[in-house]
Copies of this chain bind each other. A is one copy, B any other.
């Protein structure tokens, strides 16, 4: 959309970085071992699946060597794990063990010319899912300067009224209460209200 919630809120902090490379632990070996064991595989079996030697696997698990990227790829493929997941931080999500309830109309407001965004679960940071309840004021596609593309994926559900969904590469579609859509955030997109009153939608973007 020309105005996407995630464009307006600086919701998630960015990681700070030192200029010198003290490489953190990130127990790759331990993780690999846990995964292998959780699949109930012996080194021998894991070796067959990954194409890496038993000895190599053992050394990786015991952190005796730093596997090459090629080895990591084989590992990931053979044990059916995806690499991002394999490395994704033990600086785990701040949501761990938490819950946040947002009562109706009590989200964190953020108005823009064409939308009235209300961020839900605003107490929690570093969320994997960013939920907004949004009121669509625009009545005309021309009110949008140009649409924006951004990373991630989006889901939208019409809560009240009706809208026209404009998306790059596709024909505009009218959507009514209860209809929903899912699309690549990388495609330009925008919403226009077609109902008497302003339309309301739930907008969810992946981080």
Contacts and interface: CB of A to CB of B under 8 A. Distances in A.
Interface of A: 14-15, 17-24, 26, 28, 48-51, 66-74, 77-78, 80, 82-85, 87-89, 93, 95-105, 120-121, 124, 127-129, 131, 133, 152-155, 157, 159, 165, 167, 169-170, 173, 175-184, 186-187, 202, 204-206
Contacts of A184: 93, 95-99
A179 B95 contact: no
A75 B155 CA distance: 33
As for how many copies of this chain the complex holds, the number is 2
Contacts of A181: 99-102, 121
Contacts of A128: 128, 152-153, 206
B104 A127 contact: no
Q: Report, nearest first, the 4 A-B pairs whose CB atoms are least far apart.
A: A104-B178, A121-B182, A84-B84, A128-B206
A138 B161 CA distance: 30
Given A23-B73, A129-B204, 5 more contacts: A21-B74, A83-B89, A129-B154, A131-B155, A155-B204
